[in-house]
Amino acid sequence: MATNYDDIADEYLQTKVNPIKKYSEEFTFFQALGDVRQQSVLDLACGDGYYTRAVRRQGAAPVMGIDLSPEMIRQAEAAEAAEPLGISYQVGDVAQMGAVGAFDVVTAVYLLQYAATESELQGMVNAIYANLKPGGRVVMVTGQPDLTEAHLAAQRHYEVIIEPQGPLADGVSIDTTIFVPEGAVKFTNHHWTKAAYARVFRQAGFHSVVWYPMQISAEGLALYPPEYWQPYQQYPAIAVVAGRR
């Protein structure tokens, strides 16, 4: 995992105000997640706990968050101290952690594209499977598996620059820059196709994998004119995918 989020933790928080994240990513993710009341949830790559807290507020319990970055976990624990929700956090590398429990749901927002090799991707998906109860679900946000040059061009409308470091094949490094109020946040991840995801999910033992079309909330459609959303609606750079053990 090339990006050290300890170094960019404060700046990364500013990306939460991007309209794409607020009105499409979150909306589509929670549409796919559905009702989690009284369900146990493990949030992988939880970062500062943004989604972890949101899932807990929707009635999930117990809820645990795991992230590779100690600084991100520090911020998540600070938020928990300021507003106790009963969430537990720990530092951990998903690709190597194995089982930490048996959960009804695993969530993972921007985890899988940090796998640099298919072996590492398989390790992450195996870990997800190992932490699910039989019949349990995983719901994730990841990079667009059908990424094209048109997708790259469309994101510039939203102050996001995506630069593949080679042909758009499995595992290619992608440098992303998101412009925020105080400058820019830069990080590196990797591109994976639907075929690669299908292989690793099948190998892990998942029974089904479903890709959800990106949607925009009614609030987002009301706040911004149709021409604002048009490039994104045609060429979204992110995707929501769910699987069932």
CA dihedral of 200, 73, 159, 189, whole degrees rounded to 10: -30
The CATH architecture annotation of domain 5-244 reads 3-Layer(aba) Sandwich (3.40)
State residue 206's pLDDT score.
98
State residue 180's pLDDT score.
80
Cβ-based neighbour number of residue 187 at 10 Å = 21
Residue 225, SS3 per DSSP: coil
Tell me the pLDDT of the chain averaged across its residues. Answer: 93
State residue 184's pLDDT score.
86
Which tens digit of pLDDT belongs to each residue from 117-131? 999 999 999 999 999
Which of 211, 172, 195, 197 has its CA nearest to residue 122?
A: 197
| Residue ranges with strand state E in 144-217 | 160-164, 173-180, 183-190, 208-212
Determine whether 106 is exposed, middle or buried from the number of CB atoms within 10 Å of its CB (0-12, 13-18, 19+): buried
Which tens digit of pLDDT belongs to each residue from 25-51? 999 999 999 999 999 999 999 999 999
State residue 168's pLDDT score.
94
Cα 170 from Cα 136, distance rounded (Å): 28
Check if the beta carbon of residue 72 is closer than 8 Å to that of residue 44. Answer: no
Once rounded to an integer, what is the mean pLDDT over residues 55-77? 97
Cα 103 from Cα 127, distance rounded (Å): 12
pLDDT at 60 over 80: yes
Burial 111-124 (b: 16+ CB within 10 A, else e): bbbbbbebebbbbb
